[in-house]
Amino acid sequence: MSDSGALAIGDTVADRYRIESVLGRGGLATVYRARDTSLGRVVALKILDSNGADAAASERGRSEVELLASLSHHALVTLFDALEIDGRTVLVMQLVDGPDLGARLAHGPLQPADVVRMAIDLAEGLHAVHERGIVHRDIKPGNVLLEPSSLPGVEFTAKLADFGIAYLMDSTRITATGTLIGTAAFLSPEQARGAAPGAASDIYSLGLVLLESLTGKREFTGSLVESVAARLARDPEIPSELDGDWSALLTAMTTREPETRPTALEVAIAARDIAASRHVTTAPTLAFASVADAVADEPTAVLDAPDGPTRVLDATEEPTQVLRPGATERIASSATPATKRRWPLLAAAAVVVLIAGGIAAVAASTGGPPSSEPETVPTLPAIDDPLGSDLADLLEAVSQ
């Protein structure tokens, strides 16, 4: 690797990764398409300029990258490896063969069905990351990669990229220079004030990304000073043409008070309800579904947060949950009623099946049809309509 860090087509990094093309360049990194000659797969190679890093900072960055490498979720770009070569950090990542969301939005807003699928995917991915005490810090369209989908009627699946890059830079170059981390148009108000961002900061930024995806319009524009000043002065404007559930979700995600924003899990549940109400097909995620069912089946427990701001965990610490003072009740309540209503119906169906099974068992045990004596039809406890009427009809049907 040259002093400038530039690589040419055909160069090999770490005696293993052969450069095939340049995917993109930024102020602090260059991303290459490379072939892993050991495993025969194509990867994305991101080379960061970490000049000025001391040994302790580099080791801290390496520990955080190792923590990120332990994460696995279909909506997260997988980090395969992290290397230190000639004083530079080289990240070996999954290559997503598709555009980023920013490039796609240059052609106009997305279809609402694609936005709600993206909201589910990214919120589930953030939930997995936040549970480990990790904060992304730079959620923006450029960090959402769109992998073409093979499913009919589905344009893409979304993956969130660059997890841990902000942490790594914070441990090296950014800490040394005091440069603000994040992209001006998508910074949360607390980031704009210079406060340490927490999980709620990612929720705010994701809300702005979803809003732009639906409308095709960026909410906070202008110079860095103008954009940041606007962030601190007002909440985003949610267009009146967006229906109630989208409006409620985006309003809650982009409120200026971080403690009142929903968690990533709450966002994912609310987005799944939006998808269900519009009959949008979504990919099931078993690990998430079990959590969502538990949340939907039980009342949401609100825990008081301890004093002090949310902090980013060091890799040596045990990950903890982020506890929030208060709750975004309109999100929690709007996300669960459809699921809650299913439980009485399922229970009623189970009762009917058991009754029907009992009738069948009696017939089988006597070797023929039930006695000609008048049957006593089992009675049910009083249940309010309409469920009571539906259950009575089902019971009558299986009793005949």
Residue partners of 25: CB distance under 8 A and separation at least 6: 31
- Per residue in 54-68, is it b (16+ CB within 10 Å) or e — as a string? eeebbebbbebbebb
Tally of CA atoms within 13 A in the half-sphere of 191 that contains its CB: 28
Smallest CA-to-CA distance from 201 within 216, 222, 177, 181 is with 181
CB atoms within 10 A of CB 69: 18
Q: Where are the beta strands (DSSP E) in 249-296?
A: none
Residue partners of 97: CB distance under 8 A and separation at least 6: 147, 148
- Dig out the tokens for 246 from the structure: 């989208």
CB atoms within 10 A of CB 23: 14
Residue partners of 40: CB distance under 8 A and separation at least 6: none
The structure tokens 């709450």 sit at 266
Break the chain down into helix, strand, coil percent, rounded to 5: 45, 15, 45
Cα–Cα distance measured from residue 250 to residue 264, given in angstroms and rounded to the nearest whole number: 13
Identify whether 138 is a catalytic site residue: yes
Q: Please tell me which residue in 114, 138, 202, 273 is annotated as part of the active site.
A: 138
Residues recognised as catalytic: 138
